[in-house]
Structure 1
């Protein structure tokens, strides 16, 4: 077993190095871009896309730990970081790309690495927010017993983080990571085939291949791209996500062992090898070093209450500084728009934004009714999870662009307007957040509570009312807030559908931003992104943030 695992790791490292060589070749922004759509090129394109996806996932995980920890540990920072996270998740991938492409090309002049970093950054922006929201909630709803335990044993900050807080949120972190990975697939075409300021950039990858095939109207090559995507998703699920979800079962907070647990062939294979134990021995000194380094910040025995006068004074000072900075930023933004186009430019995005808002509300409501019962069923049954997980992964990872040929044909044949059909395309990128978080919430419900309900004979609506809905409610809120943001983001690709020489456009803020991005119209792009952020933050503050507080106070274990 040790020999096989070592050989597999060496082969993986070789493939990464071999594929990574293509990221540093010479590149000029003046050269014409042509995507090779020969099907024989797909294996290499798939490897390049996978490399970008996993690099973005690693960056997203690091961002999640740092950002969520800062927001959960500082009440003052929380007041800035969480609303900022609302805004960041609402900014469309195209909005990030507009700035990222120019910045990274300037950072790495004459090298393909600039475009690679811009593409990875775009994928990161489609992954990070969901993971951060999920981990932030797990930190703020840490079981009281674990909190008291870390204080009693005077854990250092690192010991508390790595031994208590990360394990407590591991199930949600893994499932949200899986969903975020699917979100990266969803925006792969936009991340690899970039059109900014009337200039086209493309990178070798399945996304750019599919984008070129769709632009040419070649259904055969679109089919090859779909097949390649499905093989990649299933392979990554089998080799990476399935072992992780089975391994995360060990962090379930319960007093009784489950009669059925998730299984993974790869995880069982690794457990029969000595390499995981040897890796733990090698990394143990690193953990001890981090524990000693964080000891200078004190142990985790800080008081539960603080002086109210001191707290109020600090809040006023901190709030005053933050308010001045926000006011300065808004003033500067208003001056920029006033000088370029006038503040009247905000009128159109405000109106068309109401149309997109209606689509988002309908999508979240319908997705809740459909996917919450299905997610609970999957989460409660390890056997069903083994079957459903790869299927759900494929569906969640399916880019809307791949369905454009079918969507154009269907809409033209049936006469259905994209104003209505756009909701279906938006759902491809948003509804899965609710499903994945519901599955994670159902899996996190302790087995002893479920067995107690069985012993008491609680069935039907009473079981949902007393156990299931309270148990999954915190995870559902995370899924709802990210599904809402994902729906706004998905509107960029769902409200403008292009296949061959046919273009369908819906009325909405997504189409407005997509048009401004393609034209390189920065004032209108900024106005569209600002209005989208306004709608998302308003919806989150009025609805989802209140539900978050309810989850923390009433439905935390």
Structure 2
């Protein structure tokens, strides 16, 4: 596979410049601003104004312990929607920065990889409620007397539902970088800074965009939990669609739940049209292929931006800053770490690093065991270990069913740009829609049909976890070079042989990323899926998720810590025994 830089000139770039324009430039007269530039400028100004107006509500005074009242007046929904969107995009920005730093450190350092990747497994397995328990107390203490503390806690909770999937996906793209691109960067003596921005980030851009889209959907799923917080018998609430829906569900008002559902659908479709579809279409230029695909992704918003002069103007303004960062990157020198390795120093460093890391880990575990032994005794782990087996069975059933259903669908969508344009908004709505908005209907359905929540909980978990497999499969299918698919067509390879020779190897790295995040997402989703409530009716399934949710509501920290620790143990064990070997297989055998 040869490397090809995608620099395309549109017809208007190569067309002769009209004489009138030349005369205007010579005379020193500026041409009038095109209507496209005025539309883009107006849209940006409106966005900035709305952000400032909505952001004012994040710094109002707040006193812990004060009565919480969430208005369910439908007239407040536009403002609530804006507050929720602000939190979602703040969490997405934090997740992107975290992804770049964490995934890069794990992919580039053997020693850090041995700690960061298992730690990421644990972080992914810790439920959002587990993070909220600590985050609410910490951020309120950090911003006393201000609503900003609760806002930061809510953004942090959404961040924990977004960051892990994006980090796993980008880490996978870094460790499976095509060899030709790696050799090219070394032959040109790229610095680490240049290598990241010119080679590594473009190579992983398609997967990063689709994983970002899926992570954004994961944030919607936990919107109710992050905006209407119940910790240690204390209720906290923030203006937002999630808290609105939570209050409507608690009141048992299906009409107001319907307004929340409608608002959420409008928000998801709007974000998809204005943000994600342009990103998907733009990311296609980073596809590594020798022949251009016959059909490309299109976006009205992206076409509008490309016709505007503002991106080029902003690019010229920021160019000096880019040159300064590039010069600063040269301080680190060329990326030649693998060419000169002192094995003796490497082994010595590994021993020292392993000793320090092992000592810190043992100290932390001993301190945790001492705390639990003083409070409840170490026998507290017995019940969550048994309940974890029940939840594990639900996770396994979910993963098998999601793989059989969504992998073929994802390949079908990813191979057809025309179908992607039609299916992407639908898939985005389904994946982004908070499933717990539908839990009142699920409760009603379970009561009417007599379906046991222990079985119905699998369906509720699937609503929050199966989309990771679908989105990663779509991204993997879209990343398969068009020339490879055309070669298979020319050779007449169809049916199972096509799947065996092209599709499965092509999507396998992306599927493993989707599988590991879907597995962790299923465990996390069990927190809200094993207990469903509508009005005064509550259905509780047997499982570790219900155990953790109950401990969080009652403020039982020893049992909460035990439940979170056991869930982390199950997730890490599953990753070590299943997903990590598949990761290595994807890295060494199925990288393009």
Aligned to 1:553: 588
Whether the aligned pair in 1 keeps the contact of 2:65 and 2:234 (CA below 8 Å) is: no
Q: Do structure 1's residue 91 and structure 2's residue 126 form an aligned pair?
A: yes
Task: Tell me if the contact between 1:105 and 1:115 (Cα under 8 Å) persists in the aligned partners.
Answer: yes
Q: What is the match of residue 101 of structure 2?
A: 66
Whether the 8 Å CA contact 1:69–1:139 is kept in 2: the answer is yes
Q: Corresponding residue for 1:35?
A: 70
Inter-partner Cα distance in structure 2 for 1:447 and 1:43: 43
2:395 maps to 1:387: no
TM-score (norm 1): 0.99
Out of 171, 176, 181, the position equivalent to 1:146 is: 181
Quick check: 1:398–1:428 contact (8 Å CA) kept in 2? no
Matched, 1:377 2:377: no
Flag structure 1 segments of 5+ consecutive residues without an equivalent.
Answer: none
SS in 1 for 2:339: coil
Q: Which SS does the other structure have where 2:122 is aligned?
A: helix
1:53 aligns with 2:66: no
* Whole-angstrom distance in 2 between the partners of 1:470 and 1:307: 35
Aligned to 1:256: 291
- 1:78 and 1:287 map into 2 onto residues whose CA distance is 29
Match of 1:406 among 441, 449, 456: 441
Contact 1:214-1:499 within 8 A present in 2 as well: yes
Rounded Cα–Cα distance in structure 2 between residues aligned with 1:19 and 1:250: 35
Query: In the alignment, is residue 531 of structure 1 matched against residue 566 of structure 2?
Result: yes
Q: How does 1:267-416 map to 2 (within 5 A)?
A: 267-304=302-339, 306-416=341-451
Equivalence for 1:162: 197
**1:81 corresponds to:** 116
Partners of 2:321 and 2:462 lie apart in 1 by: 44
Q: Is the 8 A contact 1:400 1:494 kept in 2?
A: no
CA deviation after TM superposition for structure 1 residue 268, in Å: 0.5
Q: How far 1:241 moved relative to its partner?
A: 0.2
Task: Tell me whether 1:110 sits opposite 2:145 in the alignment.
Answer: yes
Work out which of the two has the higher radius of gyration on C-alpha atoms and give 1 or 2. Answer: 2
Shift of 1:123: 0.2
Using the alignment, how far apart are the partners of 1:287 and 1:68 within structure 2? 22
Structure 2 match to 1:514: 549
In 2, the alpha carbon distance for the partners of 1:310 and 1:270 equals 52
Question: Which moves more between the two structures, 390-399 or 338-347?
Answer: 390-399
C-alpha deviation, 1:404, in angstroms: 1.4
Residue 305 of structure 1 deviates from its aligned partner by 5.6
Q: CA deviation at 1:30?
A: 2.2
How many residues of Structure 1 are paired with residues of Structure 2 in the alignment? Answer: 557
* Cα drift, residue 438 of structure 1: 0.0
Alpha-carbon distance in structure 1 between the residues aligned to 2:404 and 2:60: 50
Structure 2 SS opposite 1:109: coil
Show the counterpart of 1:464.
Answer: 499
Q: Aligned equivalents of 1:95 and 1:261: distance in 2?
A: 43
Whether the aligned pair in 2 keeps the contact of 1:23 and 1:116 (CA below 8 Å) is yes
Deviation at 1:400, TM superposition (A): 2.3
Q: What is the CA–CA distance in structure 2 between the aligned matches of 1:434 and 1:413, rounded to whole Å?
A: 31
The match for 1:188 is 223
Alignment deviations for residues 25-68 of structure 1 (CA, whole Å, 9 cap, x no partner): 00111210000000000000000000000000000000000000
Aligned to 1:455: 490
Give the CA deviation at 1:295: 1.7
For 1:406-454, what per-residue CA distance to the aligned partner results, in whole angstroms no more than 9, with x for missing partners? 1111111111111100000000110000000000000000000000000
1:496 matched to 2:521? The reply is no
Secondary structure of 2:438's aligned partner: helix
CA shift, 1:323, in A, is 0.5
Q: CA separation in 2, counterparts of 1:404 and 1:178?
A: 23
Which of 34, 37, 40 is residue 5 of structure 1 equivalent to? 40
Q: Which runs of 5+ in 2 are unaligned?
A: 1-35
Counterpart CA distance in 1 for 2:338 and 2:201 is 22
Give the Cα–Cα distance (whole angstroms) in 1 for the partners of residues 520 and 177 of structure 2: 25
Partner residue in 2 for 1:219: 254
SS at match of 2:513: helix
CA contact (8 A) 1:151 1:300 kept: yes
CA distance in 1, matches of 2:408, 2:341: 43
User: Contact conserved, 1:157 with 1:291, CA < 8 A, in 2?
Assistant: no
- Mapped to 1, the partners of 2:127 and 2:313 lie a distance apart of 43
Separation (CA, whole Å) in 1 of partners of 2:65 and 2:276: 40
Q: Is the 8 A contact 1:152 1:301 kept in 2?
A: no
TM-score by length of 2: 0.93
Deviates most, 153-162 or 285-294 = 285-294
SS in 2 for 1:372: helix
Tell whether 2:159 aligns with 1:129. no
Residues 1:237 and 2:237 aligned together: no
Instruction: Give the SS at the match of 1:126.
Output: helix
Tell me whether 1:485 sits opposite 2:520 in the alignment.
yes
State the Cα distance separating 1:286 from its structure 2 match: 1.9
Separation in 1, partners of 2:214, 2:322: 29
Of 49, 54, 58, the match for 1:23: 58
Question: Secondary structure, in 3 states, of the residue corresponding to 1:303?
Answer: helix
Moved more, 303-312 or 463-472: 303-312
In structure 2, the residue corresponding to 1:127 is in which secondary structure? helix
Q: Residue 101 of structure 1: which of 136, 139, 145 is its match?
A: 136
- Secondary structure of the equivalent of 1:8? helix
Per the TM alignment, residue 310 of structure 1 is displaced from its structure 2 partner at its CA by: 2.5
Deviation at 1:311, TM superposition (A): 1.9
Aligned equivalent of 2:21:
none
Following superposition, the deviation at residue 396 of structure 1 comes to 0.8
Counterpart contact for 1:211–1:401, Cα < 8 Å = no
